[in-house]
Structure 1
């Protein structure tokens, strides 16, 4: 990447005011509103100093149980994380329930109103919720192990919440159908007739991260882009992982509304490819412990483990810590044409997001299909 782009990315990442053209009128106000709730308070705890082994002993003595609500869009998407946690910490019984973040946050709000919270921890895409929950005194202030190594923009100064994963949404191609050389990279590439009938995309009005991607595309190319895209016989689908799976199976050639590991194995059926010129979406999945958590010791162990170097360097994603090594072939996330803080600001303006959703519905129609996670009910795990 050119040095000038490195410098720009560092500047944008640090202050989050120039994330993308469409955000210029609202980003400063949204961040100011959010940061108004984030000023350091006298209640802020110190950083966790106990080791993972010490935290493990306390969690087992507490009973060893933990319930996590995690954002995602396929059933049991965190099963491997559950197993890794139980292997690392014998005697722990963890359930990570995956559902769309917009369903989880409503579920949590309803549970809190009833005085009967099921989850101890949540890590979600709905970043605006964490500021709101903090303001209402719903979050437990805790600074996990490794807190001081996390990028400053990815953590609340009081310890109310912290980023646990950085997800990247960009081009995913079928390695069976598309070579690197011919892969579509920028948004405009998907309008080429050769991609007609070969693209799968997630409904932007069903997922705020995808909505943010489309918002930036429209800022660059205007609403005429949607007219041309709709002529491309796109398969629209609920869920970003489902879109990636369609590509991985070879049913479609490409998508730009899915995430994947930065470096897939050579024999993988799909591959993530970054744009040539466009900015792309990275967003910080944020986690917090609730003040009403029934298993606070287990929750502290879990967040400290998620932030540990052993975990951050083993996921194939950009780490949230600046002292961790990114996957092979990649530099730190701040060196790229992407603005995680911009997405956080975008999520604050809920009125604008609702207007955008209806605008895209006029083009595409209402999202079709059931909830891809198949999760139902106010208390899915069963308290």
Structure 2
């Protein structure tokens, strides 16, 4: 139960609506627990349904549901930050300004409150320190060319995930396509989804990746570590959220967005919070790292010609994406 009067009022209204449906960008079904656990503990009367799938599939579902006039979704938060200005322009979003929004960088908040950052995700180096000690882990792009890492690297297809694609673009801008050719000579395992490398590393099949997300501060006993480069680029962006105009459960949607931006939820972020007044122990705020560029990623995502051209180049170098959707969600499911 919350002690916040505004959320308590929304909770009472939401309890009468019968549920809440959230589309969350991600690439593993178990990621839904990041969004249901704390919310359900605080608001047990709300039957929350979170579907995790690749953002590039969720956005198409939202558009198709709008065309059909049968929207069943209340809230979306996705990696495809380019979708939100489009949806606002076409009248698909319901403005709402939860408490705490004033603590979010205004550059990542729509002036009308139609959409805004909810938290920060980042992709960088991940290793199992039982296999590769932290002091020996690869951190910079050139480290992945070490002879001892041949046949031991697992990477997400950059042409299957725009955030990874931007990451590759930035690394190549510094080290050139020769670096990519040398990476290919290391015989990396290419996979779909940025959670997949974690499972591959956990199984012992491969040892390192730079295209995955992991907890900044893992629980005690966890040997997996998320390690930032000191010089090279790492990918970070503000995961953006919004309430759909035709949300079937509008009070529950507002309650969810209010909770997501509450200090409690922000402090529990797996990685960086969106609020500037919340700090994660042992880590600087994301805007104090000079080797990442959330604004640059947004510009990249808005330039679809740039994205598609680079995607084609990556496919030519690496080969076509192979494998099933890592979330297991049927593309024809709405």
Q: TM-score range by the shorter chain?
A: over 0.9
> Could you report, residue by residue, the CA deviation over 1:191-245 in whole angstroms, capped at 9, with x for unpaired residues?
1111100100000000000001000011111111111111001000000011122
CA distance in 1, matches of 2:8, 2:332: 34
CA distance in 2, matches of 1:353, 1:65: 37
Q: Which region of structure 1 is more displaced relative to structure 2, 68-77 or 263-272? A: 263-272
Residue of structure 2 in register with 1:342 after alignment: 296
1:313 alignment counterpart: 267
Measure, in 2, the Cα distance between the counterparts of 1:244 and 1:284: 22
Task: Identify the match of residue 241 of structure 1 among 195, 202, 216.
Answer: 195
Alignment pair present for 1:362 and 2:311: no
CA contact under 8 A between 1:247 and 1:270: conserved in structure 2?
no
Q: Which of 206-215 and 86-95 deviates more? A: 86-95
Instruction: Tell me, in whole angstroms, the C-alpha distance in 1 between the residues paired with 2:229 and 2:331.
Output: 40
The whole-number CA distance in structure 2 between the counterparts of 1:158 and 1:50 is: 23
Q: TM-score, normalised by structure 1?
A: 0.84
- 2:10 maps to 55
Q: Distance in 1 between matches of 2:32 and 2:270?
A: 15
Which of 145, 150, 159 does residue 99 from structure 2 map onto? 145
Paired residues for 1:115-134 under 5 Å? 115-134=69-88
Compute the displacement of 1:51 (Å): 2.1
Distance 1:331 1:243 in 2: 26
What is the DSSP-based 3-state SS (H/G/I as helix, E as strand, rest coil) of the residue aligned with 2:82? Answer: helix
In 2, are the aligned partners of 1:166 and 1:285 still within 8 Å (CA)? yes
Q: Report deviation, 1:80.
A: 4.6
Q: Paired residue for 2:217?
A: 263
Q: Does the 8 A contact of 2:171 with 2:233 survive in 1?
A: no
Contact 1:195 1:232 in 2 (8 A): yes
C-alpha distance after superposition, 1:117-174 (max 9, x if no partner): 1211100010000010011111101111211111112211110101112011110011
Contact 1:166 1:319 in 2 (8 A): yes
Q: Distance in 1 between matches of 2:167 and 2:34?
A: 28
Find 1:371's aligned residue among 306, 325, 331. Answer: 325
Distance, in Å, in 2 between the alignment partners of 1:273 and 1:83 is 26
The 3-state SS of whatever aligns with 1:68 is: strand
1:175-190 correspondence to structure 2 within 5 Å = 175-190=129-144
Change (3 A) 1:298 1:148: same
Aligned to 1:299: 253
**SS in structure 2 at match of 1:127:** coil
4+ residue runs of structure 1 moved beyond 4 angstroms? Answer: 377-380
Deviation at 1:265, TM superposition (A): 2.9
Name the CA distance, whole Å, in 2 between partners of 1:379 and 1:119.
13
8 Å Cα contact 2:98/2:257 also seen in 1: yes
Query: 1:329 — aligned with what?
Result: 282
SS, match of residue 57 in structure 1: helix
Looking at structure 2, the residues matched to 80 and 213 of structure 1 have their Cα atoms a distance apart, in angstroms, of 24
RMSD over aligned Cα atoms: 1.4
- Provide structure 1 residue ranges, at least 5 long, that are not aligned to the other structure: 1-48
Match of residue 167 from structure 2: 213
Matched length: 330
